[in-house]
Amino acid sequence: MATGEQNLSVLLATMEPTLDSKTYVFITTTQALHSLPLATLQPTLIAHEAEGTTIVTTEDLAASHGLEGVFPCKKISLTVHSSLEAVGLIAAITNRLKDHQISTNVVSGYYHDHIYVPAERAEDAMRVLEELIEEAKK
C-alpha cells in the first residue's frame, strides 16, 4: 500500500484542490454513537471528544433530522496523496489562508487532506490555493 508523498514542494506544486458544492455543518451530541442515525446522516467526519461527539454532515441532512449545525462551510479536498508523516503541508495552506482572513477546520484522511472553510469564503479560498500552487511550481 502506498504511503504518500512527503516532499512539501512536490505536494504544494501537485495538489489539485476540489471544492465540494454541498454546504456542511458541525454538530455535537452526547448521545451514544450507536443511537445516532449515522446511515442517514452520512457524516464525513466523526470525532469523539470528552465533551461529546462531533459530526460533520451536510446542512440539508442535518436539517432533515431536526439537528442544528454550526459553521456552514464548504469542503475543499486536496487531491494529492500526502503521507500521514508529511511535514508542513497543512501549515503552509492554513497560514496562507490565515493571511487572507479565511478560517479553516482541517481533517486528514488516509489519502487526502480536507479543509472546511466558511461557505461564503470558499471561492476566495480556492483562489488562494491556486496562487499557492502556482508559486510552488516556480
List domains and CATH numbers for the chain: 8-137 (3.30.2130.10)
CB 106 within 8 A of CB 94: yes
Give the model's pLDDT for residue 82: 78
Tell me what the mean pLDDT of segment 124-133 comes to: 97
Percent of the chain topping pLDDT 70: 99
Cα(55)–Cα(37) distance, integer angstroms: 11
* φ, ψ at 132 (rounded to 5°): -65, -40
For the cut 60, the answer to whether the pLDDT of residue 122 exceeds it is yes
| pLDDT digit string, tens, across residues 57-110 | 999 999 999 999 999 999 999 988 777 777 888 999 999 999 999 999 999 888
Give the model's pLDDT for residue 2: 56
pTM for the predicted model, two decimal places = 0.90
